[in-house]
Amino acid sequence: MEWSVQQIARTAGTTSRTLRHYDDIGLLKPSRTGGNGYRFYDQSTLVRLQRILLLRDLGLGLPAIAEILDHEPDVEQALGRHLDWLRQEQDRLARQIVSVRQTMEALKDGGQIMAEHMFDGFDHTRYKDEVEERWGKDAFAKSDAWWRGMAPAEKETWKQRSRQLGSDWIAAAESGVSAGSAEAQELARRQVEWLTGIPGTPASASAAGGSGDVKDYVTGLGEMYVADPRFAANYGGEAGVMFVRDALQIYAAKHL
């Protein structure tokens, strides 16, 4: 008993194109090929096809399926790995769903937010809670008022400096220089200088006088960067933030 492509395709619930594809990649060869090139399939190939389709429905890729069918003992191990992969995908989707909903809420709160902050990589309000908790409500209020009072052009310049600092840090970290190098220390100096411009922080308060607070503040900042995953994204991954932290620590010990 043997069948043509269409017959097999209908029986198994797939298409002839799929069968030709499986033939091409060597996943499922016809049991016989006629002199006219026609493909014919028998029972054993049909069974193999149905195994393939079952595994495919479970979400496995064709190479993985070939692996399983050719080395049967690995089947449970392979399924286990696939299960892990499926769970990872679900987690990823869960995170994306949260992000999308947060974005939508932010857009509802004020359409302006989008144009001004949400989409330009410098969301000043996003850190409200942390700033308040760390440095007091007063600090955030001052800082916020300062920001809102700024002209758009000034804002742009400010944001630009922030971004430039970030990318310079990344470039330095990737270049492989040490955290104590002159290059890194210069960046640390710029970072502190930049911080001095933000009102409500110990750095700005002591811009003139200079107190021991600043040292702790700068050192603590580095630790905070490392602990908070959002900063990792801005400083080129985990290695990047650790580089920033070390550079700031060394700078604080030497100069503050």
Interface ranges with a second copy (CB under 8 A): 1, 7, 10-13, 43, 47, 50-51, 54, 57-59, 75-76, 79-80, 82-83, 86-87, 89-90, 93-94, 96-97, 99-101, 103-104, 107-108, 114, 118-121, 156, 160, 163-164, 166-167, 170-171, 233-234, 236
Q: Which is nearer to DNA, 38 or 211 (CB)?
A: 38
Q: Which is nearer to a second copy, 37 or 152 (CB)?
A: 152
Closest separation in Å from C-beta 200 to a second copy: 26
Residue 56 interface partner, choices a second copy, DNA, none, CB cut-off 5-8 Å depending on type: DNA
Q: Which residues are near DNA by CB under 7 A?
A: 4-7, 15-18, 20-21, 34, 36-39, 56, 61-63
For residue 13, give the 3-state DSSP assignment. Answer: coil
Residue 76 interface partner, choices DNA, a second copy, none, CB cut-off 5-8 Å depending on type: a second copy
Closest separation in Å from C-beta 103 to a second copy: 6
Copy the structure tokens of residue 165: 């600092």
Q: Which residue has the tokens 């630790």?
A: 223
CB 9 within 8 A of CB 46: no
Nearest to 131, CA basis, from 186, 188, 205, 202: 202
Q: Which is nearer to a second copy, 97 or 253 (CB)?
A: 97
The CA radius of gyration of the chain, in Å to the nearest whole number, is 30
Residue 109 interface partner, choices a second copy, DNA, none, CB cut-off 5-8 Å depending on type: none
E strands, the chain, in order: 32-33, 39-40
Residue 26 interface partner, choices DNA, a second copy, none, CB cut-off 5-8 Å depending on type: none
The Cα–Cα gap between 24 and 132 comes to: 63
The Cα–Cα gap between 216 and 239 comes to: 22
Note the Cα 235 to chain centre separation in Å: 13
Q: Which is nearer to DNA, 34 or 210 (CB)?
A: 34
DSSP for 135-161 reads: H-HHHHHHHHHHHHTS-HHHHHHHHHH
